[in-house]
Amino acid sequence: MTLEQLALDSGLTRSYLSKIERGLSNPSIDSALSIAKALGVTVDRLFGQVAENDVITIVRGNGVSAGDPDMHLSLVAGIKPDRVMRAFVVRPGKTQKRGRIMSHHEGEEILFALSGEIELKIGTRTEILRPGDCVQFDSTIPHKLTARTDVPASALVVIAATE
């Protein structure tokens, strides 16, 4: 599949997809879901993880922090294609404040702040989240995460698809 075709099928720009492909940009959850759908694969496949045939799925951590500490977005649960929920560890950066479009996708979302201070812009509302804070919302409402300080920020994001 060409970048042009993937751009058409995913609704993302060729330039943005090229940056993701070259490792210059990290996809948002919304973008990752769109790319997986356009490619006809599950999100776990997109992240290079293979589902097991067990009814219980365990994704082992590294014993220190959830997900891959070097990745902006790590899929930590929802590996199996028949699951309605997907869980990610997101590590927003301070640079995402400008230029990053607000994400939106079908379903419902829970965001649990793990570390640092996170600015959540959701619709016209802005909330500051600190470790232990949790928010649940309709993920069709445009939203964006940004780290507020130089202290690394992270959040557990759980998405339940409604379609």
pLDDT truncated to tens, each residue of the chain (163 aa)?
Answer: 788 888 888 888 888 888 888 777 777 777 888 888 888 777 766 766 655 555 555 555 555 555 555 556 666 666 666 677 788 888 888 764 445 566 777 788 888 999 899 999 998 999 999 999 999 888 888 888 889 888 889 888 888 876 5
End-to-end Cα distance, the chain: 26
In terms of residue numbers, what domain contains 152? 3-160
**Where residue 42 sits, what CATH number does that domain have?**
2.60.120.10
Q: What is the pLDDT of residue 100?
A: 55
- Rounded CA-CA distance 41/52 in Å is 16
- Rounded CA-CA distance 97/93 in Å is 8
- Rounded CA-CA distance 129/93 in Å is 14
Q: What DSSP designation does 95 have?
A: G
> How many folded domains does the chain comprise?
1
Q: Is the dihedral of CA 87, 93, 97, 99 positive or negative?
A: negative
